[in-house]
Chains A and B, each alone.
Chain A
Amino acid sequence: MVTVLRRSYTIDELFQLKPAAAPAELAVNFDAVEFCALVAKVKEIQAAREEEYMAHNGGR
């Protein structure tokens, strides 16, 4: 019988492994700046539409 090692970590253990470095200093394998910009852009569009809607429909 083969025993497969199942790797598990408690929430506390994972917190202990959280790096002390600032986020910008941590290397990631995707373009995080581009991703954050995409999310920010969508938020901006939603906010602009909401504002336009309020202007035409006289909310508040």
Chain B
Amino acid sequence: TVLSGEADFEVKHPLNTKWTLWYTKPPVDKSESWSDLLRPVTTFDTVEEFWAIFQNIPEPHELPLKSDYHVFRNDIRPEWEDEANSKGGKWSFQLKGRGADMDELWLRTLLAVIGETIDEEESEINGVVLSVRKGGNKFALWTKSESKEPLTKIGAKFKQVLKIEEEGFLEFYPHSTANDRHAHPSIIL
């Protein structure tokens, strides 16, 4: 048969991998455990699916305090205990006094991650996290490894995405220090 019209076949643009959106719900009573709070919301593997989801969920500034959005590749859980994350770490950025830009910068970060332009060739990126906190909202880019050279390149790209020109705004923490409250970043950009 012949296709009757253009509308019959919607062209979708495939992404390099499948992604899952997770949400951490802030606790509202003491009976709730971590596993009640962190839940996958949906998955997408095309540009069109991404936009449809993105336009139907609350924007960062609309989220309650102690919320997190996580967008992770394939079936990687957004926890440092996951095997894919265990040897990695995160580039962390705190939006001090840049609250007004949060929605735009989060969207740019997501687009750079799912569009795979934040690093070249084999991807080091496992996922990206937005944390809404009283003391300042945070973005974190989770990586597979903690090797300095590729990470420094990624950090530099991340700064372009966030439109930061000054130094000292990005900090890299290996997940191996996740339990250490006094941990210092292993790289600062």
Contacts and interface: CB of A to CB of B under 8 A. Distances in A.
A8 B47 CA distance: 11
A33 to B, nearest CB: 8
Interface string A26-60: 11111010011011101101100000000000000
Interface string B101-142: 000000010011011110001000000000000000000000
B51 interface: yes
A36 B111 contact: no
Contacts of A13: 115
A7 B16 contact: yes
Interface string B147-176: 000000000000001000000000000000
A29 B49 contact: yes
Interface in B40-72: 41-44, 47-53, 55-58, 62-65, 67
A20 to B, nearest CB: 10
Interface residues of A, number: 29
Contact of A35 (B41, B52, B108): B41
A29 B51 contact: no
Main secondary structure of the interface of A (DSSP, over half): helix
B51 A8 contact: no
A28 B52 contact: yes
Contacts of B55: 19, 23, 26
Given A7-B16, A11-B117, A29-B42, A46 B51 contact: no
Interface in B58-102: 58, 62-65, 67
21 contacts: A7-B14, A7-B16, A9-B13, A9-B47, A10-B115, A13-B115, A14-B111, A14-B114, A14-B115, A17-B13, A19-B48, A23-B52, A27-B52, A28-B42, A28-B53, A29-B43, A29-B44, A30-B41, A38-B25, A39-B67, A42-B67
Closest 10 CB pairs of A and B: A26-B52, A30-B42, A23-B55, A32-B56, A9-B115, A8-B116, A43-B64, A7-B16, A11-B111, A42-B64
Interface of A: 6-11, 13-15, 17-19, 23-24, 26-30, 32, 35-36, 38-40, 42-43, 45-46
